[in-house]
Amino acid sequence: MVTARARAATPPRAAAGSLHQRILGEIEARILTGEWPPGHRIPFEHELTTRYGCSRMTVNKVLTQLAGAGLIERRRKAGSFVRRPQFQLAILTIQDIRTEVEARGLAYRFTVAVRRHRRAGKADSPRLAVPAGTPLLALTCHHFAGSQPFCLEERLINLAAVPEAADALFADEPPGTWLVDRVPWSTAEHRIRACGAGPAAAALFGIPEGTACLVVERRTFETDQPVTAVRLTYRGDAHELVALFTPSQS
């Protein structure tokens, strides 16, 4: 990336990016190309200030950011060092189903196959950690891409956490999007498994029971209170999750 940095003293720096972004890019490039291999000590802050002719705050911001991204490690008195490549952090984009179907150029449609109010029993606690007796809404939805069945959704909603879900019919909006619009920031735990198709999945997809399916389970918490647990089952031969890991991630 080229930056139009003309001029020495005062920095009315051009639109090609801020100074610390340029510094960040250069250091990052040196690390990523291996010019500065893992363990290499990168220049001290005061060296970088003279090299780039800027103040220490500026290079400090850059190095702090690199440390946050995990590319370098900073040790007082010793300096800053290129880290060994980490056991990889992958960022997995789990889209919502409508978006994913429409990205393939297919028409999205869903049906609510089962919608039932009941109270939590002991059998529910592995999926949704609520006390027995808590009111729940149990849903089974079928998602279609064009005319093909795409995904089987089996969901439990904790009505103690989201009471307004009791009256939601999910006619226009699938439960996933309905919830995301109403529940604020939450923590989610995903589990990705392969398992053989059960009766429901086999019937929906028209495949023999036991055929490999990809199952994504998501449990959602809001300040430690369970909100919803959902199991999404996909045909194993028609679906895969893709994750791209780039060191910089910025």
Interaction site with its own copies (CB under 8 A): 1, 4, 6, 9, 31-34, 37-38, 68, 71, 84-85, 87-96, 99, 180-181, 183-196, 210-215, 220, 222-223, 234, 236-237, 239-247, 250
Angle between helix axes 45-52 and 56-68 (nearest 10 degrees) is 120
User: What does 79 bind: its own copies, DNA, none (CB cut-off 5 to 8 Å by kind)?
Assistant: DNA
Q: Least distance from C-beta 93 to DNA, angstroms?
A: 22
Q: Locate 221 and state its tokens.
A: 């918490």
Q: Least distance from C-beta 121 to its own copies, angstroms?
A: 24
In the complex with its own copies, the residue whose CB is nearer, 33 or 147, is: 33
Site for DNA in 138-157 (CB under 7 A): none
Q: Which of 4, 7, 11, 125 binds DNA (CB under 7 A)?
A: 11
Q: Least distance from C-beta 95 to DNA, angstroms?
A: 25
Q: Are 72 and 80 in contact (CB under 8 A)?
A: yes
248 near DNA, rule: CB under 7 A: no
| Binding pattern for the stretch 23-52 against DNA, x by CB under 7 A and - elsewhere | ---------------------xxx------
Count of beta carbons in the 10 Å neighbourhood of residue 221: 16
Site for DNA in 70-99 (CB under 7 A): 74-80
Q: Which of 1, 2, 6, 15 binds DNA (CB under 7 A)?
A: 15
Cα-based distances in Å from 228 to 41, 56, 102, 204: 47, 48, 25, 23
Count of beta carbons in the 10 Å neighbourhood of residue 34: 10
Number of residues that bind DNA (CB under 7 A): 30
Q: Least distance from C-beta 37 to its own copies, angstroms?
A: 6
The Cα–Cα gap between 2 and 41 comes to 25
The Cα–Cα gap between 173 and 180 comes to 11
In the complex with its own copies, the residue whose CB is nearer, 12 or 131, is: 12
The Cα–Cα gap between 127 and 215 comes to 14
Q: Are 145 and 134 in contact (CB under 8 A)?
A: no
8 near DNA, rule: CB under 7 A: no
Q: Return the amino acid letter for 232.
A: L
Which residue carries 């911001």 as its tokens?
Answer: 61
Q: Are 198 and 210 in contact (CB under 8 A)?
A: no
